[in-house]
Structure 1
Amino acid sequence: MPNEPSYVHGHHSSVLRSHSWRTVENSCPHLLPHMRPDAKILDVGCGPGTITCDLAQRVPQGSVIGVDMSVDVLKGAEKLATEQNLKNLSFTTGNIYSLDYPDASFDIVHVHQVLQHIDDPVRGMRELRRVTKPGGLVACRDVDYAATLWYPETLGLKKWCELYQTVAKSTGGDPNIGRRLHAVAREAGFQRDQIDSTVGTWCFSTQEELDFWCNMWADRMLNSEFKVKAKQGGFATDDKLERFAQIWRSFAQEKDGWCTLIHGQLICRV
């Protein structure tokens, strides 16, 4: 039996700052062509709800439910929905391994940056498939940290990426799952011709983008749950994490700085 999902980052403000930046356009563009105004959608691992609210705005005759394990983070999501006056949206706690819905409940089940954090993504994908209606869609997107690119090439950030992967794997996750999402879906019961596998990117290259991304990661090194797990696992000291924070801050000042994250994307037809 898999363990309960363990989130490597936690929910410090430095983490939620990046989560709250996410929208349908920048984080699930592969789903856009499949949206219907009357769709019934489940957003699993919804976090602070920015994608969830965006989805709700696009299905005015439909409905959206956002599910997350954190009660505290859902409070912020509910506040955002209220501010946007969204009446077709609700939030509740839940676990990807055991969703509290009958079989064939939703037209679309969406997960973004979730499967990388659980120790049995096949089981998670089977549960997403279970609650999706025949003819419906499971939409997934997850990063491949090992494929992250920087210019100028920076040894310090390469070492940071190695540390990140070590810590993420120590919690039972797979930080490079983006490259094998299609294989996970097939093992979960989808046939290969039911799976559309594509790639998406986040690119940070303007000064504003670099300031946002690099300083956010510098903050995470010093304040998020990642720091706790890195130290508890014996993978890093306070001094080492401070050095990585400074490396991120310095990269934000690179005149020709460019950082791209690669994501695997799936549309799976049930």
Structure 2
Amino acid sequence: MAYIAGHTPAVLKGHAARTAEDCAAYLLRHIKPDNYILDIGCGPGTITLGFAKRVPEGRVVGIDISPELMAKDTQEAQEQGIGNVTYQVGDIFHLPFSDATFDITHCHQVLCHLTDPKAAMKEMIRVTQPGGIVAAREAIFESMMIYPSTPALDAWKNKLQQMHLAKGQHPDAGKTLHHWALQLGIKPERIRSSAGNFCYSGREQREWWGSVWEERSISKEGEDSMVGPGIATKEEHSEISQEWKRWQGKEEAWFGMMHGEVLVWV
């Protein structure tokens, strides 16, 4: 299993801005001080640390496929003096834990990158205790809104979706989380769905968001993922990067995207 965006500085720049408050608000009120939590696809570990601070009597485990990231996350937790969190390399399809281990099993922006998200959800359910919670928050790419829009940015939205679909992934996973849970045999009364949003406006936010995608677009990994399979030409890819740079300088610039959220009581 591989993460097609890679763990480039630009990708990690975007992921490191995520917090438990911003990305897991739908889950936070269900967390108890003594919970044992698994955070899957934890990346830079910022959400993971947010969970750890909320379970002073419990523990948190963060897993990701990158050994380098897990080493960095471990160092960051030590530097912050957070001792109830550990990190290890792991694969969502083969979680290295026994059945019914965790009170809460969580992922954010992971299932949309998989070819078999239901198998991943089934594995999340397996490692969660009876009465525990499986939580997922996933993007809905088709909901992306960019203002002011341009032909290059419209092309970026379309090509980003094409890139994921070409690999058999699910760029609109957020709107099917409830359905997948039902297909896995979860009773309707044990599923709670909601939605949240990313929104970037104002100078600081638009410059940060625009720079993330400007940098991702000019990276080798970004080019390979679109130019390699023929989704975009080198010229189109270069223009997308330049358009994100121009977008940052527009005072009226605004970006929004909806996410689907689900809580499943096992």
Same fold? TM cut 0.5: yes
Whether the 8 Å contact between 1:12 and 1:224 is mirrored in structure 2 is no
Structure 2 residue 77 is the aligned partner of structure 1 residue 81: yes
Task: Give the corresponding residue for 2:133.
Answer: 137
Q: Pick the aligned partner of 2:235 from 231, 235, 239.
A: 239
Whether the 8 Å contact between 1:14 and 1:224 is mirrored in structure 2 is no
CA distance in 1, matches of 2:82, 2:220: 31
Once the two structures are superposed, what CA deviation does each residue of 1:70-121 show, in whole Å capped at 9, x if it has no partner? 1112122112111111111101111111101111000000000000011000
CA distance in 2, matches of 1:76, 1:240: 35
Percent identity, please.
36
CA distance in 1, matches of 2:75, 2:138: 26
**Larger displacement relative to structure 2 (49-58 or 151-160):** 151-160
Once the two structures are superposed, what CA deviation does each residue of 1:128-179 show, in whole Å capped at 9, x if it has no partner? 0000001100010011111111222333212101010111122221111111
Q: Which structure 1 residue ranges, 4+ long, deviate > 4 Å from structure 2?
A: none
Number of positions where the alignment pairs a residue of Structure 1 with one of Structure 2: 266
CA distance in 1, matches of 2:86, 2:115: 28
Whether the 8 Å contact between 1:8 and 1:171 is mirrored in structure 2 is no
Q: Which runs of 5+ in 1 are unaligned?
A: none
Q: Pick the aligned partner of 2:33 from 34, 37, 42.
A: 37
Q: CA RMSD in A?
A: 1.1
Structure 2 residue 92 is the aligned partner of structure 1 residue 96: yes
Q: TM-score, normalised by structure 1?
A: 0.96
Whether the 8 Å contact between 1:15 and 1:224 is mirrored in structure 2 is no
Task: Give the corresponding residue for 1:203.
Answer: 199
Whether the 8 Å contact between 2:174 and 2:259 is mirrored in structure 1 is yes
Structure 2 residue 260 is the aligned partner of structure 1 residue 264: yes
Offset at residue 233 of structure 1 (A):
0.5
Structure 2 residue 218 is the aligned partner of structure 1 residue 222: yes
The change in CA–CA distance for 1:262 and 1:224 in structure 2 (over 3 A counts) is farther
Whether the 8 Å contact between 1:163 and 1:235 is mirrored in structure 2 is yes
Structure 2 residue 245 is the aligned partner of structure 1 residue 252: no
Q: TM-score, normalised by structure 2?
A: 0.97
Q: How does 1:102-251 map to 2 (within 5 A)?
A: 102-223=98-219, 225-251=221-247
CA distance in 1, matches of 2:193, 2:30: 14
Offset at residue 224 of structure 1 (A):
5.2
The one-letter amino acid of 2:169's match is G
The one-letter amino acid of 2:147's match is Y
**Larger displacement relative to structure 2 (157-166 or 187-196):** 187-196
